[in-house]
Structure 1
Amino acid sequence: MRMLNNLIKDKLATVSLIVIIAIIIGGLFAPLVAPHDPNEIKMSLRYASPSWEHLLGNDHLGRCILSRIIYGIRPSVLWVLFALFISVLIGAVLGFLAGYFKGKVDAFIMRICDIMLSFPGYVMTLAIVSVLGVGLENILIACILVKWAWFARVIRTSVMKYSELEYVKFSKASGISDMKIIYKHLVPVTFSDIAVISSSSIGSMILQISGFSFLGLGIQAPNAEWGMMLNEAREVMFTRPELMLAPGLAIVIVVSAFNFFSDALQVALDPKLMTFNNNIVKKPRTSKIKFQKKEVANKL
C-alpha cells in the first residue's frame, strides 16, 4: 500500500501508468478498437490526408495508419513484454541458484553469464538472427538468449546480499529446506529489485525490436509494426513526413512512459531515494532562509 501511495503522489508516474495500461488494453483488443482492417488496401486513398474516417490518413497502399498503429502494439509492446518476462524468469531462476548456493554452482552459472555478456548485445542478437533467419519470433528468441545473462547476474547480486541476513541464516540452522527459504524469505525481499530492473529494460527492448524491424529483420509485411512502418515511410520522408510522425511518436510515447514509470517505481520501492530527493529540494530553501536571517541580524 505504501508503494501505491508513493506512486499516486507522483503525477508523472500516474500519467505514465495510465498511458501504459491504455496501450496494453488497445493492443489486446485491437480488433475492437481499430476502426479499419490494417491490411486492407485501397489505392484510391493512397497518401490521403487525415479525415474523420481515417484520423491519421493513409499510407502508400491506402491502408489506415491509425489501425496499423493500434495493431502494431502487439509486436512492438505486448510481445516485447512476453520476451522480457521469459528473460527475467530464466535470469531469476539461475540468479537465485547462484546467489543462494554459491560455490561451484555460482562459479558455473557465472562463467556462462560471462561468456554471454562478453559479446555486445546488438552484435550477438544479429548473429543469432542471421542463424535463425528474419522474423519477429527469431528476434524475440535472440533477445531472450542475450538478456537472461544480464538479469541473472544482477539478481544473483541481490540474492547474495539478502542471503547473509540473520533470519536467513537462522532458517538454515533450523533445518528449513532451501527451496522454502528461497520462496518465503528471499523472493519477497528481492522482488522490488527484480521489478525495477525489469521495468527499466522494457524501453530498451522496445527500441531494439523496432530497430531490427526498421532494418527489415523483424516482422514482415503486410503485418503492422511500428519500426516497419517507419521503414515504409522512409522513402517519402521528405515529401510526406507525416507518415513517419505517427509510428515515431508512438515509439517515443511508449518508451518515455515506461522509463518515467520505472524511475518512479524505483523511488517508491526505495524510501532512501525519496528522502534523499526531498533533502536536495529542501536544502536550498533552508540555506536561503538562514542567509536572509543573517542579513537582517547584520543590519540590526
Structure 2
Amino acid sequence: MAELAKNAAEMSKVHPEDTASPLKEAWRAFCKNRLALAGLGIVIFFIIIAILAPVIAPYSFKEQELTKRLLAPSSEHWFGTDDFGRDIFSRIVYGARISLWVGFFAVLGSAVLGTILGVIAGYYGRWLDTVISRTFDIMLAFPSILLAIAVVAILGPSLQNALIAIAIINIPNFGRLVRSKVLSVKQEEYIMAARAVGMKDSRILIHHILPNSMTPIIVQSTLAIATAIIEAAALGFLGLGAQAPSPEWGKMLADSKQYLVQAPWTLFFPGLAIMLTVLGFNLMGDGLRDVLDPKMKQ
C-alpha cells in the first residue's frame, strides 16, 4: 500500500511546463521560428520609427530647399534628397506612420465587417448565406487593385478614401474565412448542447462561436496588413491615394520615377521601406499560422 501511495503521489506531481497556458505554448513555438522572430523584429522596428518620427527625423518631411535638390546620400542627408530638396530619410520615417496607419485601420475595418457577415452567413445559413456568399463571390471576381481603383474613383482620390477602398476589398477574404470556421464550429457537441438547454443565439455567438473562430482571423489580419500596405502604395503611385506633400511611400515612388537614372536613390529607399515592412508582416503572419493552425502543426 505504501508503494502504491508513493507512485500515486509521483503521478500527481504537476510540472509547471505541463500546465503552461496555450498562449505561453504558442509563444514558445513562435520563438523557435527564427524567420517569424525576424519578421516580428522588423515590424517592431517600423512601429518604433513611426511613433518616434519627430525625434528620429532630422528634418521636416515637407521642408523644401531647391538648392539641394537630388543630392546623393551623404552624412548630411543619409538617404539623399528628392527633386524639391526634401530629405528622403525624414520623409520615409514619417511615411512609416501613414503606411502602418492605413494597414492597421483598413484591416481592422475589413476584419470587423467581414467577421460579422461571415458569422451571419455561417450560423444562420439559408437565404442570408446565399446573398452574402454570392456578394463575396462577385467582389472576388474582380482583381483587388481594380476594385480599389473603382471605389476611390467614386469617392475621390485621398488617403482616407484609399483606406476605405482597401477595407472594402478585403471584406470577402475575412467573411469567407469566418463563414467556413463557423460552419465547422456550430456542428460541435457543446454548441448543440447549448441550443438544447435554450441558450440564446447571441450568447452562443459571443461566448462560443467567436472565441473559437479567432485563430484564423488573427493570422489573416497579420497577412492582410502586408497586403493593405502594398495596395495603399499602389494607389498612391497611381495618384489615387495620399496627395502631395504627404510622404506616403507609394506617392514618393510616383514622384521620383522620372529620376530613375539621374537619382536612383529617390526610388530605392522608399521601395526598400515598402519591401521590408511587407516582408516583416508576411514572416510574422506565416509564423503565427504555423503556431496557431492545427493543420500546420507536426
TM-score scaled by length of structure 2 = 0.88
User: What residue is the counterpart of 2:5 in the other structure?
Assistant: none
Match of 2:210, SS?
helix
Aligned counterparts of 1:226 and 1:105: Cα–Cα separation in 2: 41
| Residue 33 of structure 1 pairs with residue 56 of structure 2 | yes
User: What residue is the counterpart of 1:296 in the other structure?
Assistant: none
Aligned counterparts of 1:91 and 1:30: Cα–Cα separation in 2: 33
Match of 2:235, SS?
helix
| Residue 235 of structure 1 pairs with residue 241 of structure 2 | no
Q: Map residues 76-91 of structure 1 onto 2, 5 A cutoff.
A: 76-91=99-114
Match of 1:5, SS?
helix
Q: Map residues 261-280 of structure 1 onto 2, 5 A cutoff.
A: 261-275=284-298
Taking only aligned residues, the RMSD between alpha carbons, in angstroms, comes to 1.5
| Residue 62 of structure 1 pairs with residue 85 of structure 2 | yes
* Per-residue deviation, 1:134: 1.1
Report the residue type matching 2:274 in the other structure: I
User: What residue is the counterpart of 2:26 in the other structure?
Assistant: 3
User: What residue is the counterpart of 1:92 in the other structure?
Assistant: 115
* Per-residue deviation, 1:11: 1.5
Aligned counterparts of 1:143 and 1:249: Cα–Cα separation in 2: 22
More off after superposition, 265-274 vs 206-215: 265-274
Aligned counterparts of 2:103 and 2:295: Cα–Cα separation in 1: 31
User: What residue is the counterpart of 1:246 in the other structure?
Assistant: 269
Q: Check whether the contact 2:149–2:240 (CA below 8 A) recurs between aligned residues.
A: no
| Residue 136 of structure 1 pairs with residue 136 of structure 2 | no
Q: Check whether the contact 1:99–1:156 (CA below 8 A) recurs between aligned residues.
A: yes
Q: Percent identity?
A: 37
Name stretches of at least 5 consecutive residues in structure 1 with no aligned partner. 276-300
Q: Map residues 151-190 of structure 1 onto 2, 5 A cutoff.
A: 151-190=174-213
Aligned counterparts of 1:98 and 1:31: Cα–Cα separation in 2: 46
* Per-residue deviation, 1:272: 4.1
- Correspondent of 2:143 among 104, 120, 127: 120
| Residue 217 of structure 1 pairs with residue 240 of structure 2 | yes
* Per-residue deviation, 1:114: 3.0
Could you give the per-residue CA deviations for residues 52-105 of structure 1, whole angstroms, max 9, x where no partner exists? 332112111111111100111122222221011100100001111111122233
Match of 1:72, SS?
helix
Report the residue type matching 1:133 in the other structure: G
Q: Check whether the contact 1:7–1:13 (CA below 8 A) recurs between aligned residues.
A: yes
Q: Check whether the contact 1:27–1:78 (CA below 8 A) recurs between aligned residues.
A: no
More off after superposition, 115-124 vs 19-28: 115-124
Report the residue type matching 2:253 in the other structure: L
Could you give the per-residue CA deviations for residues 160-179 of structure 1, whole angstroms, max 9, x where no partner exists? 11110011111111111212
* Per-residue deviation, 1:29: 3.0
Aligned counterparts of 2:33 and 2:279: Cα–Cα separation in 1: 15
* Per-residue deviation, 1:222: 0.8
Report the residue type matching 1:185 in the other structure: H
Aligned counterparts of 1:207 and 1:79: Cα–Cα separation in 2: 10
* Per-residue deviation, 1:123: 2.1
Report the residue type matching 2:72 in the other structure: S
User: What residue is the counterpart of 1:291 in the other structure?
Assistant: none
Aligned counterparts of 1:183 and 1:22: Cα–Cα separation in 2: 35
Higher relative contact order (CA 8 A, sep 6+): 2
Aligned counterparts of 2:202 and 2:223: Cα–Cα separation in 1: 28
Aligned counterparts of 2:64 and 2:264: Cα–Cα separation in 1: 21
* Per-residue deviation, 1:121: 2.0
Aligned counterparts of 1:24 and 1:69: Cα–Cα separation in 2: 13
Report the residue type matching 2:242 in the other structure: I
Report the residue type matching 1:181 in the other structure: I
| Residue 16 of structure 1 pairs with residue 39 of structure 2 | yes
Q: Check whether the contact 1:24–1:78 (CA below 8 A) recurs between aligned residues.
A: no
User: What residue is the counterpart of 2:168 in the other structure?
Assistant: 145
Aligned counterparts of 1:43 and 1:214: Cα–Cα separation in 2: 23
Could you give the per-residue CA deviations for residues 101-139 of structure 1, whole angstroms, max 9, x where no partner exists? 222332232233233333332222222211111111111
More off after superposition, 90-99 vs 123-132: 123-132
More off after superposition, 101-110 vs 35-44: 101-110
Match of 2:86, SS?
coil
Count of residue correspondences: 275
* Per-residue deviation, 1:252: 0.8
Could you give the per-residue CA deviations for residues 6-36 of structure 1, whole angstroms, max 9, x where no partner exists? 1111111112112101212221332222221
